[in-house]
Chains A and B, each alone.
Chain A
Amino acid sequence: MVARGILNFPSRPSIRAAAVAAGPLEKKKSIFGPLFDKLHDSELCGEDTNEKAHSRLIEDACGLALEKAGAMPADADFLLCGDLVNEMTPSNFAAANLHLPYIGLFSACATSVSSLAVAALLTESGASRLALAGSASHHNSIERQFRYPIEYGFQKGPTAQWTVTAAGFAAVTQNEPGYPEIRRATIGRSVDYGLTDPLNMGAAMAPAAFDTLSRHLFGTNSVPGDYDAIITGDLGSVGSSLFRQMAKEEGLEVRRSKWRDAGEEFYGDDPSFFAGASGAGCSAAVYFSDVFQKMLAGEYRRVLLIATGALLSPLSFQQGESIPCTAHAVELSMSGGGQS
Chain B
Amino acid sequence: MIMSFIVAFVVGGLICVVGQLLFDVANLTPGHTLSLLVVVGAVLDGFGLYEPLIDFAGAGATVPITSFGNSLVHGALQEAERHGLIGVITGIFEVTSSGISAAILFGFIASLVFRSKGRP
Q: Which of B78-120 contact A (CB under 8 A)?
A: 116-119
Q: Give the contacting residue for A25; candidates B24, B27, B119; CB below 8 A.
A: B119
List B contacts of A140 (CB < 8 A).
118
* Least Cβ–Cβ distance between B67 and chain A, in angstroms: 21
Count of inter-chain pairs, beta carbons less than 8 A: 17
Q: Which of B22-39 contact A (CB under 8 A)?
A: 23-24, 27, 30
List A contacts of B30 (CB < 8 A).
148, 152, 154
A157 within 8 A of B: yes
List A contacts of B117 (CB < 8 A).
43, 150
Residue pair B23, A25 in contact (C-beta under 8 Å): no
List B contacts of A155 (CB < 8 A).
23
* Least Cβ–Cβ distance between A251 and chain B, in angstroms: 35
List A contacts of B119 (CB < 8 A).
25
Q: Give the contacting residue for B118; candidates A25, A148, A157, A197; CB below 8 A.
A: A25
The chain B residue sitting closest to A23, CB to CB, is B118
Q: Which of A149-198 contact B (CB under 8 A)?
A: 149-152, 154-155, 157, 197
Residue pair B27, A151 in contact (C-beta under 8 Å): no
Interface of B is mostly: loop
A139 within 8 A of B: yes
* Least Cβ–Cβ distance between B97 and chain A, in angstroms: 25
Known contacts A148-B30, A152-B30: does B116 contact A157 (CB below 8 Å)?
no
List B contacts of A152 (CB < 8 A).
30
The chain A residue sitting closest to B110, CB to CB, is A151
The chain A residue sitting closest to B30, CB to CB, is A154
* Cα distance, A69 to B12, chains bound together (Å): 62
List B contacts of A43 (CB < 8 A).
117-118
* Least Cβ–Cβ distance between A158 and chain B, in angstroms: 10
* Least Cβ–Cβ distance between A11 and chain B, in angstroms: 44
Q: Which of A123-153 contact B (CB under 8 A)?
A: 139-140, 148-152
* Cα distance, A154 to B29, chains bound together (Å): 9
Q: Which of B1-46 contact A (CB under 8 A)?
A: 23-24, 27, 30
List B contacts of A149 (CB < 8 A).
116
* Least Cβ–Cβ distance between A296 and chain B, in angstroms: 33
* Least Cβ–Cβ distance between B115 and chain A, in angstroms: 10
Residue pair A151, B116 in contact (C-beta under 8 Å): yes
* Cα distance, A45 to B19, chains bound together (Å): 37
Q: Which 7 A-B pairs have the closest CB atoms?
A: A151-B116, A43-B118, A150-B116, A140-B118, A150-B118, A155-B23, A139-B118
6 A-B interface contacts by CB (under 8 A): A25-B119, A139-B118, A149-B116, A150-B118, A154-B30, A155-B23
Seed contacts A25-B119, A149-B116, A150-B116; 14 additional CB < 8 Å A-B pairs: A25-B118, A43-B117, A43-B118, A139-B118, A140-B118, A148-B30, A150-B117, A150-B118, A151-B116, A152-B30, A154-B30, A155-B23, A157-B24, A197-B27
